[in-house]
Every structure is written in C-alpha cells, then in structure tokens.
Amino acid sequence: MVTAILIPIICLYFYWLTKKEMRESNEKWLQLKKVTEEAVISGTIVDLKGQRQRFSYYRYVYVLELAIQTELKKWQVKRVIPIEKGFQIPNLTIGEFINAYGNWKEDSFHVNRIEKRAK
C-alpha cells in the first residue's frame, strides 16, 4: 500500500525537478545574448574565428572571437550568440573597421552589438 502511493509521488517530484532545471537552463541560454553595453572598442579586425559549441543537451551557441587592433593595442573580443531559428552568422571580414559595444568579464571583452563603420 505504501509503495503504491510513494512511487508515483517520487516520479512526479523528479518530473517537476527536471522541468524546473530545463526552464532555468533555457533562461540562462537566452540571457547569453543580453550583454550590458558599458564600453566601446573601436578598431580594425585582425583575426576572426567562429565555432559552434554545446551549451546544454540540445542547446547550442555560436562563439565569435575577434582580435581587434586599435591605435594602441590589440584586444581579444568575444561574442556568444544562442543558436535559435533564423540564426545567421554575423557577416564580418578581416580588415573591416568596427565599433564593438559590450563589457569586460574576466580577461576578455564580451560584445552585445557590433557596428561596421568607415575609418
């Protein structure tokens, strides 16, 4: 009698726990595209790398890493984009002059928005 009541309760608890964790993971995944714009780096793109990485079980992100040469220094810039329906890889080429808006996290500059501009 006890197992007839206890086993469905345990199953429902783990179902609820799994749904909660999936919802939190989805929210974290969507928050990756929202970076506060606290600083700007302007310069020429020297190096450009992009790759798809796994975020969770079936969620992926596209990590775009840029090396930007300013007047004084070379900066490493990173943009993390969740891969959703209609996702397009940003159309950037080496040698373009850009403004990268974002903020500093640890040792790299995380970008929210990239604008191309004329020198």
- pLDDT for 5-42, tens place per residue? 889 999 999 999 999 999 999 899 988 888 888 999 99
Q: What CATH number belongs to 39-116?
A: 2.40.50
pLDDT at 53: 93
- pLDDT for 46-72, tens place per residue? 999 999 999 988 889 999 999 999 888
Q: Specify the pTM.
A: 0.80
State yes or no: pLDDT of 1 exceeds 80: no
pLDDT at 89: 87
Backbone dihedral angles phi then psi of residue 69, each to the nearest 5 degrees = -95, 115
pLDDT at 97: 92
Longest dimension (CA), the chain: 78
Pairwise CA distance, residues 53 & 92, whole Å? 19
